[in-house]
A and B are shown apart, each in its own frame.
Chain A
Amino acid sequence: MVISIFPVSTDQPSIEVTNLTKHYGPVTAINEVSFSVAKGEIVGFLGPNGAGKSTTMRILSGLIPASSGIAKVCGIPVASHSAEIKRRIGYMAENNPLPEDMRVAEYLHYRASLKEIPAKQRKKRVEEVLETCDLHRKTKRKLIRALSKGFRQRVGIADSILANPEVAIMDEPTIGLDPHQILLIRDLINNLRGRCTLILSSHILAEVEICCDRVIIINQGRIVATGSPKDLRHEFIRRNQYHIRVAGEKAKLLEVLQQVDPEIDLQENLDETNDSFQTWNAYSVISGDLSEELIQRILRTNGLRLGGLTKLEPSLEDIFLSATRRSWDVTQQEAQNIQKTYQQQQENTD
């Protein structure tokens, strides 16, 4: 019987990270990272390779110590009470390492005993998890060595949610899966909603956009953006893009468009078309939907025939690129500033 010295309150965030920094020798993997995740929230961790996603997750699960800063899971500091943390989290490591020569059900039973699930409930719980992850038919008797990537990934996910953890941390759970399996895992994540707090990292942006309540974008060890995909769109994408299919002269089209937005930017879309219609990309900084007005005006103009007009929703991909590029610029600017002050100091000493 484990008696926790930490009372669980309902309003306290599941994960709380303050000014977390980790150095590997001279390399700074993460730098002054702060964020918090509310109870029951599903958060996606995005970033290019080497941005510090895995490092943050490993610190949160108590695998490696941070250089400075505080990480708390369920209100418990990870650094000083890692044993307590390990009873409350489910962790799925990057690349999902599994023992090759065990059978699926056998492995989960073994993990269940390590995770302190009482012997009487073990069998039932393993069956439940096998069913949740769609491993319950033939697969559970297979050797892990013989499983395909998608099934191995599911075994990893099954293991991480086995002990009904308060917080599940998954490092790239959808890597290497085909679209069918991704769909399955999306359902699985949706199933977990409300039952536990989930933090997952991914490269696949569409995946994160659909599953997650909130996205944290991290680049070069710093958080560059955080919020729901909708908020991020608003913050990072300043101009709207329209696809216009029109038959007619460019000058005429531009003239019409400029009546709506004088600063509109019109570019030729290089997609080939078989008919007289030509597709154009129009970019406008005016917020709100201009589609109707544009359609009206193009239709009223002689010499222009409208084939179609769509406003494009910026994907998370655009936000991601824009956010990480912005952080690049910031760091470059910082570097230039440092160099400037250094030069000034040099001049002063001379």
Chain B
Amino acid sequence: MKHFLSLLRHEIRTLFIAPATYTAAVLFLILMGLIYHGILRQYTLDEQTVDPAYVFFQIFWIPVLFMVPLLTMRSIAEERRMGTLETLMTTPVTAAEIVLSKFLASWFFYCLLWLCTLSFPVIIQMTIHQEPVTQALLSKGPLIGGYLFTFLSGTLFIAVGIFSSSLTRSQLVAGMLSFSILFILILGPRLLQTQGVAMQIEWLQASVDYLQLFTHLEDFSRGMLDSRPFFYYLSNTGLVLGVSILMVESKA
């Protein structure tokens, strides 16, 4: 892991000088800002039982489906197409270091983008100086739980993106592949649960429930830190990254 830090520094630097990164960040913040605005409007119309942050994190999957492929599709596919992956592999650097550095850089950026959304309630709180509003907007529980969940689930999402990118030399294919996998991963269990088969078989329902990302999110937002989601995300992240390392090693 001697070269890991050099690689990571290089990856983060590449992310921060690429115009595409900023475009993606701006689009993400506009989308999230509009959604947050919509939620607040809803709150002005009716009385709601839960905090706005709780509702806000319920739609985490919309940006994930677009952001993660955009962030990760370039990483390995582009290097493979350019041939720079080959030149990397002729130095004493290992495939594991390459994949992990790309993963960590993307994950770091993903977390940073989500942290930017923290500015929404802060800005509103700064313009409206009313105690009940501040309390509702900045209630610690749902915010900490929500961010913890996005960071944790982010490991798996980003790993899936890196994996798709390691399979091909075309960015487009990598992007579409990671979109499809993420779609199945996030919305698949919910569809299984609400439609047909899983409803009737009890043991299947239990296992599908385990895969439900929305259940995980609810638990986190309520401040319930179960070890099972941690195990689910981290073990799968490890698995997916492991396969990516093998892909890079065999197809350099």
Contacts and interface: CB of A to CB of B under 8 A. Distances in A.
Interface of A: 61-64, 83, 86-87, 89, 91, 93, 95, 97-99, 101, 110-111, 113-116, 159
A141 B86 CA distance: 25
Given A99-B84, A113-B6, A63 B92 contact: no
A25 B17 CA distance: 41
Q: What range describes how many residues of B lie at the interface?
A: 20 to 34
Given A93-B86, A97-B83, A114 B18 contact: no
A83 B18 CA distance: 32
A100 to B, nearest CB: 8
A91 B92 contact: no
A97 B87 contact: yes
Interface in B183-211: none
Nearest to B82: A97
B250 to A, nearest CB: 9
Interface string B85-98: 01111111110000
B2 interface: yes
A116 B92 contact: yes
Given A89-B90, A111-B91, 15 more contacts: A63-B252, A83-B92, A83-B94, A86-B92, A91-B87, A91-B90, A93-B83, A93-B87, A97-B83, A99-B84, A113-B3, A114-B6, A114-B7, A114-B91, A115-B91
B3 A114 contact: yes
Interface string B1-17: 01100110010001001
A220 to B, nearest CB: 25
Interface of A is mostly: loop
A101 B93 contact: no
Contacts of B94: 83
13 contacts: A61-B90, A63-B90, A63-B252, A86-B91, A87-B92, A91-B90, A97-B84, A97-B86, A99-B84, A101-B18, A114-B7, A115-B91, A116-B2
A89 B6 CA distance: 20
A328 B67 CA distance: 55
Contacts of B93: 114
A110 B7 CA distance: 8
B21 to A, nearest CB: 12
Contacts of A93: 83, 86-87, 90
B97 to A, nearest CB: 9
B14 A101 contact: yes
B86 A63 contact: yes
B23 to A, nearest CB: 15
B140 to A, nearest CB: 41
Given A93-B83, A97-B87, A101-B18, A115 B6 contact: no
A330 B24 CA distance: 60
A110 B92 contact: no
